[in-house]
Amino acid sequence: MRFVPRHLEPRLRAAVRQFPAVVLTGPRRAGKTFLLRRMFPEASYRLLEDPATVARLREDPSGFLDELELPAILDEVQNVPEVFAHVRARIDRTPRRVGQWILTGSQESALMRGVTESMAGRAAILQLWPFSVAETPKVDLLRGGFPEVVARPSGARLWFSSYVQSYLERDVRSVTNVHDLATFRRFFALVASRHGQVLNKTDLAAPLGISVPGISKWLDILEITQQILIVPPYFENLGKRLIKSPKIYLADPGLACHLLGIETAGELARSPFLGALFEGWVATEILKAQGAAGRRRELYYFRDQRGLEVDFLVPGKGSSLLLLEAKATRTPAASMAAPLLAVAAALRSRHRGRVHGYVVHRGSPASTETRVLARGVGAITVADLAELLRG
């Protein structure tokens, strides 16, 4: 597979020109190391996962860092979070020198805590997700966007099996002391079966025989390691009783399919999870577009207790608001616009900016797609949405 440029590259180059340090986070195997080593081939590189390297850094951090030729890439730095203080000290000696330290990590919470405490104002913080459909059309609902799967889709089953195993043994254990990895593996699959649903911790706890606080802790692990997306509800004074619990999605549709035992396009088409998987794919593409464009992560859903629901609300430029319904159909119908029109009507009386509505669907190359479903509601594919969000 030829090299695929990442939409984050312009922001990454700009950050290196403006800040002494850049911190790049993202899920394991999202392509962080490959991207940085290709973009900055002159930088020295150290992987902070090798036990000997980690031991040497902890024994003599000053000596270790003094040996590096700058600029330097320190990969998987969450394994040695104390390195932030030493890097900060070097930055403070020459605060006007930019682009000297490029740090990566797969565990966002611990990494961000280190940045907040040690490098505030000294580091730009960026996030790299797996490929988006806007970066390559090879990303799809069945295989997702991890670069190695996109490059070799025939090996997806083995790759995902290995990914889950290494994730459990390395990331999960490094975040917290989980002794029963087999139960955590069952928990991970159970979360996949609740993909796209309103989060119910009791519902997750009961089949596993784990307390609700224990489930909360394990959900935090999945969120810290960027394996799930938690989408909060949209609160607005609409005179309605709104659902207040968040919804949960796996962050990569290919991994979600793997955990659900879906291996072929035929199995996906027949699966009762098809609609939820497609909805999760749309959510992931929204967050990827926001991150690549340098915008804040803003994604919500709307549901009231009378059953009115819109899958996603995305704040845009100039106080505009984007309402999205994700439908796994290839032939969107005018009736699908109804919830969008209802919520838009309620919002327009209280929302100053423009409100736009779209039904996001799977599309079909063999048919002419309907572009307008109702006044103010269009029909677009996931690729169309990705381009719209880039604008």
Confidence class of residue 154 from pLDDT cuts 50, 70 and 90? very high
Question: Is pLDDT above 90 for 272?
Answer: yes
Question: Is pLDDT above 70 for 349?
Answer: no
For the residues 6-21, what does the mean pLDDT come to? 95
For the residues 359-377, what does the mean pLDDT come to? 78
Read off the pLDDT of residues 292-338 as tens digits, 9 standing for 90 and up: 887 888 999 998 777 788 999 998 877 788 999 999 999 999 999 99
Max mean pLDDT among 75-79, 97-101, 118-122, 349-353 falls in 97-101
Q: What is the pLDDT of residue 350?
A: 66
Contact 21, 123 (CB under 8 A): yes
Domains in the chain, ordered, with CATH?
A: 9-127 (3.40.50.300), 147-390 (1.10.10.10)
Q: What is the pLDDT of residue 258?
A: 96
pTM of the entire predicted model = 0.91
Percent of the chain beyond pLDDT 70? 92
Contact 24, 126 (CB under 8 A): yes
Q: Give the whole-angstrom CA distance, residue 19 versus residue 102.
A: 10
Q: What is the pLDDT of residue 139?
A: 96
- 198 φ/ψ angles, rounded to the nearest 5 degrees: -65, 130
For residue 71, say if its preceding peptide bond is cis, omega within 30 degrees of 0.
yes
Give the residue among 143, 342, 354 at the shortest CA–CA distance from 240. Answer: 342
Q: Give the whole-angstrom CA distance, residue 202 versus residue 350.
A: 35
Where is pLDDT greater, at 312 or 241?
312
For the residues 365-380, what does the mean pLDDT come to? 77
Contact 231, 324 (CB under 8 A): no
Q: What is the pLDDT of residue 276?
A: 97
Read off the pLDDT of residues 135-149 as tens digits, 9 standing for 90 and up: 999 999 999 999 999
Q: What is the pLDDT of residue 173?
A: 72
Question: Is pLDDT above 70 for 69?
Answer: yes
Give the residue among 376, 277, 275, 280 at the shortest CA–CA distance from 321. Answer: 376
For the residues 142-160, what does the mean pLDDT come to? 96
Read off the pLDDT of residues 70-92 as tens digits, 9 standing for 90 and up: 999 999 888 888 888 899 999 99
Contact 235, 350 (CB under 8 A): no
- 86 φ/ψ angles, rounded to the nearest 5 degrees: -75, -40
